[in-house]
Structures are given as structure tokens and as C-alpha cells.
Amino acid sequence: MSKELSNNRLDYLDAMRGIAAMMVLVGHFINWKFKDNPINQVLSYIFNANDAVSFFFVLSGFVLSWAYFQNDTKPLAINKYYVNRIFRLFPGFIVALLLCLLYYNRHQLSFERFLALFIYNKEMFWEEFFMFRGYNSIFLPGWTLCIELNMSFLMPFIIIVGRYNRQLLKALLVASLLASYILGFFFFHFVLGALIAAFYNEIISQDFKKSFLYKYRIAILLLSILLFSVRTNDRIFGSYDNLKYILAYLKIDFYTITGVASALFLLYTLHFKSAQNFFRLGLLQFYGRISYGIYLAHWVFVIAFYDYWDKLLPAFNGNKTALFVFGIAAVILLTTITATLLYYFVEKPFMKLGKKVADKIIAVWTM
């Protein structure tokens, strides 16, 4: 059994998740106040915050299913799987939600405010707390976590389909695209990730060099970059009216296009060792480990910085560029520190606790 299989993970994918998280952080920062700045418009092609989400979802579909396709004897205990996912997603999210809530209410901390928020639920805090039907108004990036949680509940069934017959995943992918109006745009992404996981051995094999994807790999990589930038192009140039009309008619979204691009990026990395070695660099691995915390923590720091923009500007003699550079450096630093603390003191302990709880549930279930 290979080291990768015995660990049930591919370590270089962590760095890809970390890079995507940093794309979200920087993308939100540069487009918060100055999205029409020409320099920031160019940077938006690199720091594409919106469509980094597509990559997250495709990668989640792959990671959540890969070990089960690599080892056909690995039991798929759904109740254990669900417990682990809940303990993985909720603790960090709850901390981020409470941080945002504390920041928003920093000028009105009182017992009456406490009652309004937590007892009378006047702002639907508890709906957001439990990720109920995608409701979010305090921690706005929480909409992606609602999708992650809901799709995580569906992943065992996608895995079962793929284990029964991998070819059925292709049919399910087409069905997810045709039924996107009913299932949502992102079911497609998770099925796409699972499909790549199901054919992982073929992708990394030497026979892959005989495939169409390998033969035209440079052109396909360039096409992937273009597809991944379709939303940014449309926002800056507004040149995709016909495409948007077709997509609207088919009831699909730009996210579908960037999902395909994300899948091609993932395919490229899975096959090419040079890409994997790059993503194994120490700093990238570190940011990969704390990537969930980066995604969670960055929001409140970006909000806070721009809330105090006008008050900070005189300290920089009115130099907006200097303040902008200072701000992005400060947000990255504060987010990195907070994400590190989240990883070691929230995420890791609760992941361990989740495994213990899941094991106990399995023990009781099988008595």
C-alpha cells in the first residue's frame, strides 16, 4: 500500500486549498473599495475570490471520496462520516460567526442586546448558527459553508454510485448539470470531484499520456485559465451577454464554467509531479493546513479595515496607496495569526473529538 493511500490523503492538495483561500482573502480586500481601479482589475484575474469557491467545491468532492475509491474495502459508515464532517465544519464556523457578531455589536454590548440576539432571535442568529437553509446575514461567506455541509451529506451516496459502477458517475455528472435548476449549481462540482477521484489511477498512469487531455495539455491549461476568468472578464468588460443569455436559458451559472476549469487544474496537478513538488513547499503546506481558518477569519479583518479607512487615512497623510498596502499586509498578518490559532486550538481538537464521538457511535450502533 502506498504512503498516500495509507494516509488517506494527498498532501500537496493542502497547498492548493491554501492558495485558493488566499485568493479569496486578497480578492475580497482589493475589490471591497477599489474594484474599478485598473491595477486591482488586473489583480482580480489572479486573486479571483468568487471562483476560488468553485475550486473549493471540486476539491472537496475529490478529497471526500478519494480514499473510498482507492480502497474498495474501506467501510463507508455514513453515521461516522456525518459526525466527522459536522465536527470538522461547525466549530471553526461558529467561532468566525461569533467574532463577526461581536464586531458588529461592539458599540452596543448590553444585556438587552444579548436577549434580542440569542433569546428572542430577532436577527435569526440561530438559523445562521445551524446553517439552516443557507440563511446568513452576519458572516456572509457562510453561504459556501452551508453548501459544503449540505453537499457533504450527499457525498456518501455519490461514493456508493461510483463504487457500484464508475461509469454511472459520468451519467450523474450530466444529470447534475441538466438538473442544476433543481439541485443547485454546486452539486455538479462535487460530482465532478468524485468522478476525478474515481479515475485517479488512470489519471496518474503512464497511459494518460495517450489521452486527448495530455496531448493538448498546454492548450487545455490556457483554456482553463480563460474559463476560470470568465466572471472577471464579464465584470470588467461586460462582453459575455450572449453567453449569459445561453447560460440563463440552460439554468446554469458562471460557477459551472469555473468548476470545469477547476477540475482541469486539479487533473493537471494530479498527473504532473513537478506541480506536486511545487505545492509541497513548506510555506504553501503551512497555508494549506490553516486554509479553513484563513477563509473563516479574513472576513472580519477586511470589514474592520475598511470601516476605519477614513479614520486611518490621516495617519498616512492622505496617501491612499500607502494605506492600501499597509492594510493588505495587516489583514494577511492578522488573518494568518488567527487562522493558526483556530487550527491548533479549535479545528484540530474538535477533529480529534469528532473521531472519538464517531467511534463511540459506531460501537453503540454495532452492539
CB distance 271 to 208 below 8 Å: yes
The model carries a pTM of: 0.93
Q: Give the whole-angstrom CA distance, residue 160 versus residue 157.
A: 5
Highest mean pLDDT among 80-84, 109-113, 125-129, 344-348: 344-348
- Residue 367: predicted pLDDT: 59
- Please list, in sequence order, all residues whose beta carbon lies within 8 angstroms of the beta carbon of residue 131, skipping any fewer than 6 positions away: 93, 142, 145, 146, 149
The per-residue pLDDT for 180 is 82
- Give the residue, 86 or 73, on which the prediction is more confident: 86
Q: How many CB atoms lie under 10 A from the CB of residue 176?
A: 23
How many whole angstroms separate alpha carbon 147 and alpha carbon 154? 11
Judging by beta carbons within 10 Å of its beta carbon (0-12, 13-18, 19+), is residue 306 exposed, middle or buried? Answer: middle
Q: Which of 89-103, 206-220, 264-278, 327-341 is predicted with the least confidence, judged by mean pLDDT?
A: 206-220
User: Burial letters for 57-93: b for 16+ Cβ neighbours within 10 Å, e otherwise?
Assistant: bbbbbbbbbbbbbbeeeeeebeebbbbbbbbbbbbbb
- Asked whether the beta carbons of 229 and 222 are under 8 A apart, the reply is no
Minimum mean pLDDT range among 159-163, 317-321, 342-346, 360-364: 360-364
Query: What digits encode the pLDDT tens for the residues 91-114?
Result: 999 999 999 999 999 999 899 999
pLDDT of residue 120: 92
> Rounded to the nearest 5 degrees, what angle is found at the Cα of 319, between the Cα atoms of 316 and 320?
110
Give per-residue pLDDT as tens, 167-213: 999 999 999 988 887 778 899 999 999 999 999 999 999 999 888 88
DSSP symbol at 117: I
Mean pLDDT calculated for residue range 126-137: 87
- pLDDT tens, position by position, 143-166: 999 999 999 999 999 999 999 999
Q: With the C-alpha atoms ordered 223, 227, 232, 238, is the resulting torsion angle positive or negative? A: positive
Range of lowest pLDDT (121-135, 219-233, 286-300):
121-135
The residue written with cell numbers 444579548 in the block is 114
CA dist 200 and 132 (Å) reads 34
In whole angstroms, give the CA distance from residue 194 to residue 259: 13
Question: Smallest Cα–Cα separation from 262: which of 104, 62, 58, 82?
Answer: 58
